[in-house]
Structure 1
Amino acid sequence: MTDRRTVRNSCLAILPTLLLVLSLSGAYAQTIVSFDGDRGPGIETCKPKIGPIHCDRAEMDVAASGKQVVQVTWQNVNVYDPAGNLLKSTPLSAVIRAAGLDPNPPRGGGPFEPHIIYDEFIERWVITVTCRNDCTLVSAGPDATGAWGGTSLSCLQGGACLDRDPGLKLGYDKNGIYVCGGHIGDDNLATVPGVSYDCFAVPSNEVKAIAQGIAPTHINRGHNMPLDIVPAIDHDPTKAAAAPAFFANKSCDRTAQYACQRSPNFSFDWIVNTFTWNGGGGTYNSGGSQQVIKTDVGSKSNKWLYNTPCCADIMSIPQAGSEVTLRAAPSHRLMNVVQHGWHLYGVLGTGPCREACGSQGADPNNILIYVDLDCSQPAACVVSQTAKLASTDLHLEFGTIGVDGEGNIGIVGTASSARTNLSVLLWTHRKDDPAGRFADPATVVAGTQPYTCRNEKSMAPMGNSVGILTALDPVDRKTLWATQQWANDISPCVWATRIVGYKIMPEKQ
């Protein structure tokens, strides 16, 4: 099913079908194309302790080249044209095996938690995914239906291999790709003790060679990076060879167990690291140390409080028509980071603050926090804009941010409540809109059924817990592509995904 529309930003009205979006006087129009992506295999495949390790959620991500749109889930690599016509579908495990790697992690259960990008600077697709170790796959050309090669970056140059649920993150710019993954036993003072991330910076020409089975000579490994650090994606074709790549995340309480996910009213900071190239090598944080940045505009004080995602100890949110709740906990991190000029953009999911909330204000439901970091002084980033996206009716989850070539911003996320099913929403902020102000969200697609894939805690996992990227069409530099899980099939473990391409139009309608 493909849906093409031009809509106005609307008051939020999730309806049984995606037929009506209410208008606001003076609102800016958007052009939205959306179509169905991969679907879950059902309960017979997803039986606990028998089926694939993350069978009960989509773990979707998407990228675009201008000619192709490629969605990856733990299950398949699906190649579409921009109108939503499926060109080829291949099991992800088969793509990994054909690239010469083992798709099964040490505990078995097949690959999980994939990301995909299209690197327009080398005209190659890149997938990162947890398999036997961290796996990096690169296409042999710009056609994603062709051959792929692969390597495990962490196993090169003496290891140690990241083979224990590394939760991989992926970014790129004109100079290279950046892959980060969890390393048990290491530590970073900004996040929880006993686990941190290793990051790898691989030069663009050596990324390209991975498709031919040539392992990169330079992997530029950085240890002891903060937990859940996210490399930025920068589409600037004029980026200087010595301009830094950026990595961002939030700080965590270090005293409570699992405090990056479970914390009450924690006044967090933004954390920024950099990598600066020097030939094939380079240096992390060459301008000084890791940056710890206050969250209010100007970074003189903290504005935001992180809270454990709602609801209860299992951190899951209600949905209409079922006692099975949806696991919201993985939305506690930055889903992605985008660089435009010298600014970094991100969206953080958090649970509601209900008392002693200060200027943040109280909320009944899970919210999203938007940040624009001005890094024109690369070693001294400051908050330029920030905002809260919230609803009195809906829990908001898994926000992924995109910035088009003009600097217009879109956020695609999901929403659910006891009266609605899991749906996909779009918020927009034009470059000349008032600072920190987003138009009311448009409904991309409204859920029609509850999603049920009950685990031992009577909840259904959803989304992609390691992040969801937004892709910029590198040809028109106007269309942004994202994908989310939504709910339109009551059959257990038949998750649904939606792929959405949108333009933020310049004229008032």
Structure 2
Amino acid sequence: MRFATDRVLFLAACAASLLPLAAQAADGVEVTPAMTHDHLPSLRGTMPKPDDYDGTKHEKEWKKIPHVDSGRFVQDAATQGTHVTGAASTIAGMGFDGVGNGFTGPQGKFTVNAAPPDTTGAVGATQYVQWVNSSFAVFDKTTGQAVYGPVAGNTLWSGFGGPCETQNDGDPIVKYDRIANRWVMMQFAVPSGGPYYQCVAVSQTSDATGGWYRYAFQYTNFPDYPKAGVWPDAYYVTFNMFSGNSFAGPRLCAYDRNSMLSGAAATQQCFQLSTSYGSVLPADLDGATLPPAGAPNYMLSKGSSALNFWKMHVDWANPANTTLSAAVSLPVAAFNAACSGGTCIPQAGTAQKLDSLADRLMYRLAYRNFGSYESLVVNHAVAVGTTRKNTYAAVRWYELRNLTAATPTVYQQSTYAPDSTFRWLGSIAMDKMGNIALGYSTSSSTLHPGIRFATRLTTDALNTLSNETTLLQGNGSQLQNLSRWGDYSTMALDPVDDCTFWYTNEYLPSNGTFNWSTRIASFKIAGCQ
């Protein structure tokens, strides 16, 4: 059944520009219905949207946020400065190229027209879905072969009408909702001058090439850098909001998951934070054990040698009962952001530096309930060295526990810097045994950008990673006048065994600009079964 035609969507958007967008509940939460929703009977039966590549290459804007940092240069007291060989080895699984320049699948060939790729992916029962800024593909996870794609991202909204169909703007996220065995895919649509939209699709089955329920949620300010987490009571989505070029603060939203799983009308409930806080991540569920009944979603941002922590609990029946706790500051070992939050990552054979994205926490904020305790892991890029002018980028990672307390515990923290290679753009997760895997980009003045990961066995000494492994060493560097890199990478857990990690990130097969490729690889830590 179709709930909105193109004309209805257009009239609704016009009406929204004349009327208040959100209803205000007593506690300040804003409640907004999806502007439109419908269903797509089958992605396989949908004509792919035409490639909008016109020969023009463009660099996607990095909308920087005011990052809070230590006021002076500090020695990183949490640094792990040596390589460690851990007790448990890693077992390699699949390894294959994802969507990138020249990648060819059932729907044709992909040509890079933008940078960076915003590499995201998730693993389901039988498939792996990867999305880069303008295209996605579905892979058979046992063979690594593309079974669908690459197609333009807005193919998923064919026939939907409005900017979700006509725009293909990226900043994508792919999730696998293992509670319901469904896929969740989203990207924003940001037409010039607004209003702006988050376009969300929820699959009707565990087959990403089948039917989908589709939604469009509207925003007045520019909803940059959306990040999503699956939770039992909602899909939690966070944004960095911008009014023009001015940062307007983070926006924390919950989408009505139960309604979206059935294709029913859905609303969002959102809180707007002030510019005192930077980019916020929502907790994202891993594992078969759900959070305790009624547990809020946990949210985190980077502060000045601290982490800011919130709890958001949504009430769909009575939004006046929806709550967002006051921010709690969790002190951590003092740090400076890598590259002072900007661009300084060196590469072999060129003076061109790469962006650090060190002004924010990196996706995901991975949550797991072990029964006797709950855990969150997250990471960001910091500066390690002897002076401010003599530093290199390293990955700072944390594990938080005691989440239900007024002030959660920073159970362990460490900066992984076993040598002077630059490490950044990390993504971290835990398997069902409590083992940790952290994937990231690597580069130096003598090294092309590559992809590595390090692990921690649950019985290893606290605050340490071990067994650094190279997933792929790139053969090229990004050349003059293109600094944009990554924006994010993604570490995900296989829902079938809850042991196998799947990681995706970008690399260059040769020197150049706008010629990036991506890699998808799986592995597990020996002993997890």
TM-score tier (shorter): 0.7 to 0.9
Relative distance call for 1:250 and 1:284 in structure 2 (3 A) is: farther
Q: 2:202 aligns with which of 106, 113, 138?
A: 138
Letter matched to residue 197 of structure 1: P
Query: Conserved in 2, the CA contact under 8 Å of 1:36 and 1:499?
Result: yes
1:262-295: per-residue Cα shift (whole Å, max 9, x none)? xxxxx42101111224455565656x52211111
Q: Percent identity?
A: 19
2:327 counterpart of 1:290:
yes
Which residue of 2 is the match for residue 33 of structure 1? 94
Distance 2:509 2:490 in 1: 23
Residue number in structure 1 paired with 2:482: 459
- In 1, Cα distance between equivalents of 2:265 and 2:169: 21
Deviation at 1:322, TM superposition (A): 2.9
Give runs of aligned pairs for residues 70-89 of structure 1, distance below 5 A: 70-82=129-141, 83-89=143-149
Indicate the residue corresponding to 1:264 in structure 2. Answer: none
The CA deviation string for residues 13-45 of structure 1, in whole angstroms up to 9 with x for no partner, is xxxxxxxxxx95855333342211011369xxx
Q: Report the equivalent of 1:441.
A: 468
Q: Does the Cα contact within 8 Å between 2:301 and 2:360 map onto a contact in 1? A: no
Measure how far apart 1:87 and its partner are. 0.5
Q: Distance in 2 between matches of 1:321 and 1:206?
A: 53
Report the CA distance between 1:63 and its aligned residue.
0.4
| Paired position in structure 1 for 2:265 | 215
Secondary structure at the counterpart of residue 273 of structure 2: strand
Q: What secondary structure sits across from 2:339 in the alignment?
A: coil
- Measure how far apart 1:57 and its partner are: 1.8
Shift of 1:149: 3.5
- Aligned 8 A contact 2:338 2:393 in 1: no
Cα distance in structure 2, aligned partners of 1:325 and 1:440: 28
Q: Partner amino acid for 2:461?
A: P
Q: Residue 470 and residue 124 in structure 1: after superposition, are their counterparts in 2 closer, same or farther (change >3 A)? A: same
What are the within-5 Å matches in structure 2 for residues 32-71 of structure 1?
Answer: 32-40=93-101, 55-71=114-130
Report how far residue 171 of structure 1 moved. 0.5
Gaps of 5+ in 2: 1-81, 104-110, 191-196
Q: Which aligned pairs between 1:351-430 and structure 2 lie closer than 5 A?
A: 351-355=383-387, 364-430=391-457
Residue number in structure 2 paired with 1:245: 297
Cα deviation, 1:391-421, whole Å, max 9, x if unaligned, reads: 4331111110011112111001010111111
Equivalent-residue separation in structure 2 for 1:369 and 1:423 (angstroms): 19
Quick one: structure 1 residues 241 and 203, their matched pair in 2 at CA, closer, same or farther if it must change by over 3 Å?
farther
CA distance, structure 2, for counterparts of residue 141 and residue 100 of structure 1 = 23
Partner SS, residue 471 of structure 1: strand
Aligned equivalents of 2:502 and 2:453: distance in 1?
A: 11
Question: Are residues 1:475 and 2:496 paired?
Answer: yes
2:258 counterpart SS class: helix
Runs of 4+ in 1 over 6 A off after TM superposition: none
TM-score by length of 2: 0.73
In the alignment, residue 517 of structure 2 is paired with which amino acid? Answer: A
Amino acid at match of 1:227: G
In 2, Cα distance between equivalents of 1:200 and 1:67 = 30
Q: Larger deviation: 385-394 or 408-417?
A: 385-394
Contact 1:371–1:386 (Cα < 8 Å) also in 2? yes
Q: Counterpart in 1 of 2:281?
A: 230
C-alpha distance in 1 between matches for 2:404 and 2:435:
22
Is residue 243–residue 277 contact of structure 1 (8 Å, CA) maintained in 2? no
CA distance in 2, matches of 1:99, 1:306: 45
Alpha carbons of structure 1 residues 205 and 307: separation in structure 2 relative to 1, 3 Å = closer
Quote the Cα distance in structure 1 between the aligned partners of 2:300 and 2:452: 24
* CA-to-aligned-CA distance 1:92-141 (integer Å, 9 cap, x gap): 12223345452489xx7x31211110101122211221213222222232
Q: Which runs of 5+ in 1 are unaligned?
A: 1-10, 13-22, 43-50, 187-192, 252-266, 296-302, 357-361
2:238 alignment partner AA: C
Q: Quickly say closer, same or farther: Cα 1:35–1:101, change in 2 above 3 A.
A: farther
- Deviations for 1:307-331, whole angstroms, at most 9, x for unmatched residues? 3527xx9613221233333222367
Partner of 1:496: 517
Do the aligned residues in 2 keep the contact of 1:122 with 1:204 (CA within 8 Å)? no
Matched residues, number:
424
1:413–1:101 Cα change, 3 Å = farther
Asked if 1 retains the 8 angstrom alpha-carbon contact of 2:86 and 2:460, the reply is no
Other-structure match for 2:25: none
Q: Would the aligned equivalents of 2:508 and 2:517 in 1 still touch at CA under 8 Å? A: yes
> Which has the larger share of strand?
2
